[in-house]
Amino acid sequence: MSALLFLVWTSARNRVVSVLRRVQSPRYAAALIVGVLYVWSFLVRPASHAGATSVLLGQPTEMLVTVLMVVMLMGSWIFGSDATALAFSPAEVSVLFPAPLTRRQLVGFKLLRAQIAVIVNALIWVFVLRRGGTALPSPLRAVGLWVLFSTLNLHRIGSALVRSSWREHHGAGARRHRWSIVVFAAIGIALLVGMFDGRQELLAAHGLGGFFTALARALSRPPAIVALYPFHLVVAPTFAHSIGEWGREILPALGVLLAHAWWVFRSDAAFEEAAIEASAERARRLEAARSRRSVAGTRPPRAATSTIELAATGRPAMAILWKNMLCLRRTAQLRVFIGPAVMAIILGASTADSGADAGEVVAACALTFAGMLLILGGRLIRNDLRHDMLHLPLLKSLPIGGHEIVLAEVASAALPMAAIQLLLFAIAFVAADVSAHAPLSAGVRLALLAGAPFALVTLNGALLTIQNGTAVLFPAWIRLGPTVSTGVETLGQNVLSMLANLIVLALALIVPMFAAWLTITMLAPYHAPALAVAMIVAAVLLGAETYGAMRFLGGAFTRAEPLQTA
Amino acid sequence: MHELTKLYGNFTAVRGLTFDIAPGEVLGLVGPNGAGKTTTLRCLAGIIAPSSGSVAIDGHDMRREPIEAKRALAFIPDEPHLFDYLSVEEHLRFIARLYGVADAESRTPVLLEELELTDKRRALPGELSRGMRQKLAIACGLLHDPRALILDEPLTGLDPGGMRRMRRTIAARAESGAAVVLSSHLLNLVEELCTKLLVVRRGECVAYGSIKQIIAARPELAGRSLEDVFLALTHDASGA
């Protein structure tokens, strides 16, 4: 085990050293300063609005976190989205698997390595939650978070082992893990029963807050409350308000953690099969590149049974767009686009017989999904330079200018994303039309719909240019490839990077928004048309800013060298 | 290539390399591991920018006219860089559009046949063996009929039949007027195909010219095998 400890420790240390060495470059040094200031202002700066963040530690949030935890774990049981939680790097497979190590040592190694992400994110959340205005010291909160994230990590590995054993050994695998399967199935059924019992309250709830309050009420009654009990135990220390409360709650939470550790170590019979399968899956996706876990695109590309036509002549950059569209079509990423529209319609339709205004629900859901897609879409869809920087030598040998490559890559993600958001806007428009409580006049709705294509294309383009810019300017500091880190244990880092992107977008929007305001003021007598014109003016300005950024990134791409992505 | 130097921080990967290749010539770039061969080829292909010196392909300066220069060349690396989600045929269509190969429709089947990829034309890279992926990378490089062909360890991963065909292909491209640069540790390949040699060590040129010219400059090496010549040149240069 000391060799494995050595591997984890030296790998982590060398990674940090190699990241810090980059600071010798002025570009990375400037980024580090900005990053430190950002982290300081977001996490460390003395809190001035403790009340605003104290909601994070309230009872509803505790219930919400518990429910989200169960939903996430159910996802990994049902869909196996975390199968790659077991993945080893090709080097680890070829060196560690033939080495004289027991399975338990390998499982221990995997858990040990995951602790780096767990600890970093526990610390991030300690800073976020320290503004909660409670008397609990930060170190105790850190221990609570560590227990929570470690349990989640163990559970994901355990469920991946059970699923793999079941898949590999069919009936025998299922029998071997029957108690795990029965327990988790019982939990799932109990939660479904709880939600079914509280369906009237859920459907009658107004707004997101109302929905979660109704959900919390529905799950606070048997049998759901019994099913959620172990999860409550794990979550409770993080939300403790005093040292005494924490002291009472930490031991049961540690008990659940230890039970998970026992379960995972007992489930290791299928470990090699599962780990090799997961590792092969990861290696296949990234081939010679470094491999990471993925939100979307965890499945292998579908066979090339059908294609999209591409003429041999014309603008060369179109070939990049075409390539990325095929990627989108052949990976699971399409579900990200189609899912929200389908969900908006289903949610609306399901309220039709409960007396609620179905049109209003559909419109609200459609617009919410459109907004979520704008903010989160870039993390889910990565068929752009964040993926293709791994092919930097190939791209750089092609006869295309750097800015054209950047434009084509950004468009590959931005255009499909804008298309589905536009579809959601159209659904909202139609739904609001049939709703009895449409909040906006028909003219304003029409103006919004008319301006939406321009606004959506440029907003997505700008946000994705920011994200692609990070890949071009700081390839050594970010994860390249079709994947992003997932799991609650990396949520802290993900939230920080998402907020940073939104801050840059907000800065880019200052001039366009001012121009939009000016346009509306000047065209005040023509209320609805003024809105459409203002959206278009803002979109044009944001588009111009984005194009300027792309030209700059094109230059940086031309100067980028393959070693920088190493 | 004129006085090419490439620095990585304080480390000099390539120092003052100068050579030229006329149409129809095949230049063999040889040297021990870490000599700067791949860096030289990458500079030649426009993948990395030289710290000083210049590169021109088919009369186009790589710094001033990178698009035109790149349109005239093909770079085939030792590790095939392929896109996971494009089939064999789609890789060729992608390349055809990038290089504007108007007659790609008729050339593609011939190329696939030549490289024995016809049966695999709908396969994704993940379904191909290492050798087949290498063949696909070669097909991508040859589709637009480049004026300059740059190959880094071209026989890596190929079976004996594939190696023989690859040697013929390189020779045929040179005969049809392409300038070829290849880097290889396989000295028999170099001896068979190359009209000129550039021997590098620690980023510097230790010998340049035809094998006859190199031996003429070092008469004590006359009558020895290319392997002995290579070892003598690179050993001498190390000062050992």
pLDDT in tens, B124-172: 888 888 889 999 999 999 999 999 999 998 888 888 888 888 899 899 9
CB atoms within 10 A of CB A295: 20
Is there a domain that residue A396 lies in? yes
Are residues A459 and A514 both part of a single domain?
yes
Are residues A275 and A327 both part of a single domain?
no
B78 touches chain A (CB under 8 A): no
Distance (Å) from the C-alpha of residue B51 to the closest C-alpha of chain A?
Answer: 11
Are residues A275 and A320 both part of a single domain?
no
Contact A399/B98, CB-based, under 8 Å? yes
Which residues partner with A180 through β-bridges?
none
Counting the structural domains of chain A, the total is: 2
- Chain A CB contacts of B100 under 8 Å are 312-313, 316
B56 touches chain A (CB under 8 A): no
Is there a domain that residue B33 lies in? no
End-to-end CA separation in angstroms for chain B: 29
Nearest CA in chain B to A25: B9
CA gap A295, A285 in Å, rounded: 13
In degrees and rounded to multiples of 5, residue B102 shows phi and psi of -65, -35
CA gap B77, B39 in Å, rounded: 12
- Determine the pLDDT at residue A539: 95
Domain, as residue range, for B125: 73-145
Mean pLDDT of chain B: 89
Are residues A332 and A263 both part of a single domain?
no
CA gap A379, A141 in Å, rounded: 29
Tokens of residue B18, six digits: 């100068």
- Determine the pLDDT at residue B91: 92
Nearest CA in chain A to B143: A312
Distance (Å) from the C-alpha of residue B102 to the closest C-alpha of chain A?
Answer: 6
Counting the structural domains of chain B, the total is: 1
Confidence of residue B111 (pLDDT cuts 50, 70, 90): very high
- Chain A CB contacts of B104 under 8 Å are 312
Domain, as residue range, for A456: 316-565
Alpha-carbon A238 to chain mean position: 22
Are residues A533 and A400 both part of a single domain?
yes
Contact B97/A310, CB-based, under 8 Å? yes
Tokens of residue A122, six digits: 């526990």
pLDDT at B24 over 90: yes
DSSP letters for A300-359: PPPP-SS-----SSS-THHHHHHHHHHHHHHSTTHHHHHHHHHHHHHHHHHTGGGTS-HH
In degrees and rounded to multiples of 5, residue B179 shows phi and psi of -90, 130
Spatial CA neighbour of A356 closest among A214, A220, A494:
A214
Is there a domain that residue B113 lies in? yes
Q: Are A363 and A445 in contact (CB under 8 A)?
A: no
Is there a domain that residue B93 lies in? yes
Distance (Å) from the C-alpha of residue B96 to the closest C-alpha of chain A?
Answer: 5
pLDDT at B96 over 70: yes
- Residue B189 vs residue A81, higher pLDDT: B189
- Say if residue A40 is exposed, middle or buried (CB neighbours under 10 Å; 0-12, 13-18, 19+): exposed
Residue at A472: amino acid letter: V
Q: Which residue among B67, B82, B123 places its CB closest to the CB of A399?
A: B67
Nearest CA in chain A to B105: A312
- Chain A CB contacts of B77 under 8 Å are 393
Distance (Å) from the C-alpha of residue B29 to the closest C-alpha of chain A?
Answer: 19
Are residues A328 and A187 both part of a single domain?
no
Is there a domain that residue B235 lies in? no
DSSP letters for A121-146: HHHHHHHHHGGG--S--HHHHHHHHH
Distance (Å) from the C-alpha of residue B101 to the closest C-alpha of chain A?
Answer: 6
Q: Which residue among B46, B86, B90 places its CB closest to the CB of A396?
A: B46
- Chain A CB contacts of B156 under 8 Å are none
Is there a domain that residue A182 lies in? yes
Tokens of residue A442, six digits: 């028909």
- Determine the pLDDT at residue A525: 75
Are residues A215 and A95 both part of a single domain?
yes
- Chain A CB contacts of B49 under 8 Å are 559, 561
**Domain end point (choices A280, A303, A324):** A280
Contact A397/B90, CB-based, under 8 Å? no
Is there a domain that residue B19 lies in? no
Is there a domain that residue A346 lies in? yes
- Chain A CB contacts of B124 under 8 Å are 301, 303-304
Q: Are A532 and A447 in contact (CB under 8 A)?
A: yes
- Determine the pLDDT at residue A390: 85
Contact A397/B75, CB-based, under 8 Å? yes
CA gap A281, A326 in Å, rounded: 20
Is there a domain that residue B224 lies in? no
- Determine the pLDDT at residue A115: 83
Spatial CA neighbour of A408 closest among A377, A425, A422, A387:
A387
Are residues A375 and A261 both part of a single domain?
no
Q: Are B25 and B180 in contact (CB under 8 A)?
A: yes
Distance (Å) from the C-alpha of residue B74 to the closest C-alpha of chain A?
Answer: 8
Spatial CA neighbour of A358 closest among A434, A423, A425:
A434
| pLDDT beneath 50, residues of chain A | 287-300
Are residues A244 and A325 both part of a single domain?
no
- Chain B CB contacts of A313 under 8 Å are 97, 100, 102
Distance (Å) from the C-alpha of residue A393 to the closest C-alpha of chain B?
Answer: 6
Contact A558/B66, CB-based, under 8 Å? yes
Farthest-apart Cα atoms in chain B, separation = 56
Cα distances from A60 to residues A55, A215, A372, in angstroms, run 8, 10, 22
List the helix and strand counts (H, then E) for chain B. Answer: 9, 11
Query: C-alpha dihedral over A308, A314, A316, A320, to 10 degrees?
Result: -20
Contact B79/A323, CB-based, under 8 Å? no
Contact A319/B126, CB-based, under 8 Å? no
Is there a domain that residue A286 lies in? no
CA gap B182, B29 in Å, rounded: 6
Interior angle at CA B152, CA B57 and CA B137, nearest 5: 90
- Determine the pLDDT at residue B29: 94
- Determine the pLDDT at residue A407: 95
Contact B125/A303, CB-based, under 8 Å? no
- Determine the pLDDT at residue A295: 33
Residues of chain A contacting B, Cβ within 8 Å: 24, 284-285, 287-288, 300-301, 303-305, 307, 310-314, 316, 318-319, 322-323, 326-327, 330-331, 391-394, 396-401, 558-559, 561-563
Is there a domain that residue A388 lies in? yes
Probe site for chain A from B51, B98, B101, B117 (most A CB atoms < 10 A)? B98
